[in-house]
């Protein structure tokens, strides 16, 4: 298993799509407050909450609490944290991922704050390749691309 972390998500349909994705891939989703919506929002339910029964979703007050909740690796070391950002320096398919890794995604309108990104090792600041004239990729699409790359590297464990 690995972890998807949404830092202060703002758009209900994106979060709903990510909930559905996490249920299908079998990964834990962490949502960091403040959320830009009510969890009962109709758009959120339409996009993914019908998967809430099989999705493992945890809500945290802040990033330190979330990180503290992640399981340790088999050797006792803490989970590795990767941050997705257009300011990242490593392409998303370059690292060799392992079970227990966590992937942090910023809010749709502004991405991860500099103080959060600065706290993550440069080689773990990853990005999706895109054309230079483009600004960013939709949050739920970015999560899907990264989740399937990580799951592929882990041998699609639990998939059929």
Mean pLDDT of 139-148: 97
**So what's the pLDDT on residue 9?**
96
Q: Tell me whether residue 119 is annotated as binding.
A: no
As a whole number of angstroms, the distance between CA 82 and CA 23 comes to 21
pTM of the model: 0.93
Quick count: other Cβ atoms within 10 Å of Cβ 67? 17
Query: Do 18 and 6 contact (CB within 8 A), yes or no?
Result: yes
CATH of 3-154, one of 3.40.1280.10, 3.40.50.300, 3.40.50.12160, 1.20.1270.10: 3.40.1280.10
Residues 104 and 109: their CA atoms lie apart, in Å, by 15
Classify the C-alpha dihedral 113-142-131-126 as positive or negative.
positive
Q: Name the residue with tokens 């809430």.
A: 52
Q: Is 136 known to sit in a ligand binding site? A: yes
pLDDT confidence of residue 78? 82
Residues 3-24: tens digit of each pLDDT: 999 999 999 889 989 999 999 9
User: Of 29, 91, 89, whose CA–CA distance to 59 is shortest?
Assistant: 29
CA-CA distance, 52 to 115, in Å (whole number)? 32
Any binding-site annotation on 39? no
Reference 100, options 156, 32, 150, 25; nearest CA is 150
Please enumerate in sequence order all residues whose Cβ is within 8 A of that of 154, keeping only pairs 6 or more positions apart, or say none.
Answer: 2, 97, 98, 99
Residue spans of the domains in the chain: they are: 3-154
**Rounded to whole angstroms, how far apart are CA atoms 125 and 82?**
6
Helices (H), the chain: 12-25, 42-47, 63-69, 114-117, 139-153
Encode pLDDT of 56-112 as tens digits: 999 999 999 999 999 776 677 788 999 999 999 999 999 999 999 999 999 999 999
The pLDDT score that the predictor gives to residue 130 is 94
Sheet with 56-60, side-by-side order of all strands: 56-60, 28-32, 3-7, 102-105, 81-84, 125-127, 90-91
Q: What is the pLDDT of residue 49?
A: 58
The answer on whether 140 is annotated among ligand-binding residues is no
Taking residues 41-52, report their average pLDDT: 64
């Amino acid at each position: 298993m690995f972890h998807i972390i949404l830092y202060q998500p703002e758009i209900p349909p994106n979060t709903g799509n990510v909930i559905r994705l996490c249920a299908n891939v079998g990964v834990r989703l962490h949502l960091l407050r403040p959320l830009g919506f009510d969890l009962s929002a109709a758009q959120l339910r339409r996009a993914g909450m019908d998967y809430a029964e099989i999705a493992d979703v945890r809500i945290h007050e802040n990033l330190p609490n979330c990180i503290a909740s992640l399981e340790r690796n088999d050797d006792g070391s803490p989970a590795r944290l990767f941050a997705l950002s257009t300011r990242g320096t490593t392409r998303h398919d370059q690292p060799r991922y392992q079970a227990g890794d966590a992937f942090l995604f910023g809010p749709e309108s502004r991405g991860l704050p500099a103080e959060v990104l600065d706290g993550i090792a440069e080689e773990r600041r990853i990005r999706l390749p895109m054309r230079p004239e483009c600004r960013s990729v939709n949050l739920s699409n970015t999560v899907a691309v990264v989740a399937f790359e990580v799951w592929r590297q882990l041998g699609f464990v639990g998939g059929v």
